Chain A
Amino acid sequence: MDMVMHYLGAMWAENIKEWKIELSYRFDFARSLVEPFVYVLPYLLFGIAVVGGRNSQSLFNLVGTGDVITFVVIGYLFMGFLNTALWGMGFALRKEQFFGTLESVFVAPVPRWVYVGGMALHSTMHQGLIIMVQMIMLQLIFHLLIDASGLLPAIGVVALMLVALYGIGMMVASLALIFKAGWIIAEALHSVISVVTPIAYPLAVLPIFLRKASHFFPTTYGILTIRHFLIGEDMGFSVGTSMLRLSLLCVGWAIFGLFIFSVVDRKTRRDGTLGHY
């Protein structure tokens, strides 16, 4: 029990440290709250331009809801948690390297995953804040049509999706130690996952090979189920099936991420390349 408290204390300390650093750059912090809004708008305006309004009959035929704005906004908002894994966690170790504190962190009396876990905690809180701000802004501007009773189950799905995303984050964090230019790994994975995840479109429009690939990512089931709870999207399978698959992905990605992390951690120590830039 003492050990758990010790680890939790280290995670919390890491989280507080990150908040302090981020709040020192107020302009960048404010920008992080607005940025996703700027990136989602072109997709909304593109949707309106293509359809000629807010409602699409074609989308309705595919998923049982025709409101383009609400459909796209929910997809993009919750997809923001992918940033938690890829940039928040994935860049955790690389950032320490920039600051010149990586070696100090690695000789601290806690396992390295605890440190990455602290970054995950911070990143999740930060992303949660971003999503709340976005939700309020977008609700005020576009009057999203959301089923309020679906909010609680949707939060549950987010929690489950996060576990799997943490696994992906662990993997990216460790790969950044080997490849150094870790932003490419994060950006490449982000691009691939963003294409195969049905953020602004249903799975049905993807080519078959992409549809198959999408089943390996937690964001696919996460986004589909969240939208099912909030706007009644027809997923093509039951909620139970979706939750079961999401749970399997949680276990799979978490184990895989921790495994890769421990292998890379050992390798970089043995090769003595930890301090390489």
Chain B
Amino acid sequence: MKRDLRIIWEEFRKNLKILLCYPVVWGFWAIFPILWVLPLIFQGKALVGGLNSPSFEKLTGSGNYLAFVLIGSIVSTYAMSSLWGMGQSLREESYWGTLELILTAPIRPFPILIGKAILESCFATTGAVIQACIFTFFLGVELSFGKILPVLFIMVLLLLGLYGAGLALAAVTLLIKESRGLVNTLNWIFYLFSPIRYPVEVNPITRVVSLAIPLTYALFAIRSMILLNKSIIQLWGSVVSLILFDVALMAGSYYVFLKVEQKVRKTGTIGMY
């Protein structure tokens, strides 16, 4: 256990050092997601002439579409970074020429991936906090302190499942080498079928497909708490769904990772590019 913790810490430190070499990259991820939601705000303003929409209220319970898309932006940036970060983590080692060294070291690869995941989540959390502060101070979206803990609880539940999925993606990278296309496709599915930018209830197809994506439950719960003042007890259905997703994704992904790792070691394809 102590040995594993040391590996996790060293991996965290190594990736932090690399990340700090590119300040523009983390500056970019902290600020630019805000720009990506501005078109929706301007679009809404042009279409209804203000920041409140009765039609939107019928679908979501709140006519404040500005807060709706801002929350979607923060949570989705958080979620996507876990998918990208974990999915590409082993590929990056392959680019740097260090993948073989890591996988042939006398340690289990799992703590290494946990070290990477912890850094990814710290990085994503920092970005989300900066965005939340900017939204609160400049755009007047209220995020009261009492709601922060339950929101964080939902975020942790979401991240556990997504890092589980990220582990499976990392495993797929070992197998097919270039998983960018796969991660991109997952990105699309999330973007299109979960309520990141629009209420999925607006279309029967998106409403049904969204039920298979954990991000849907997390966004529903977080928005209900922030915009509709619901308590976490009232949202027990979403919480239970997220826990079930977490168990399934983590167990399934761990199994996939072990199997794939065994396979690539046996077939000797780790070093292939």
Contacts and interface: CB of A to CB of B under 8 A. Distances in A.
Interface stretch (A49-57, A102-110, A240-248): A49-57
A58 B49 contact: yes
A216 B119 CA distance: 40
B46 to A, nearest CB: 4
Interface residues of A, number: 41
By DSSP majority rule, is chain A's interface helix, strand, loop, or mixed? helix
B250 to A, nearest CB: 28
By DSSP majority rule, is chain B's interface helix, strand, loop, or mixed? helix
Nearest to A47: B47
B198 A28 contact: no
Contacts of B24: 179, 181, 184
A38 B188 contact: yes
Given A39-B191, A45-B203, A51-B55, A28 B181 contact: yes
Interface string B184-206: 11001001100011110011001
Interface residues of B, number: 39
Contacts of A191: 32, 35-36
B125 interface: no
Contacts of B65: 46, 49-50
B181 A68 contact: no
Contacts of A22: none
Interface in B166-225: 181, 184-185, 188, 191-192, 196-199, 202-203, 206
Nearest 9 interchain pairs by C-beta? A52-B55, A201-B46, A46-B198, A58-B49, A42-B197, A200-B43, A49-B202, A45-B198, A191-B35
Interface of A: 27-28, 31, 35, 38-39, 41-43, 45-53, 56, 58-59, 61-62, 68, 72, 179, 181, 184, 187-188, 191-192, 194-195, 199-202, 204-206
Interface of B: 22, 24-25, 28, 32, 35-36, 38-40, 42-49, 53-56, 58-59, 65, 69, 181, 184-185, 188, 191-192, 196-199, 202-203, 206
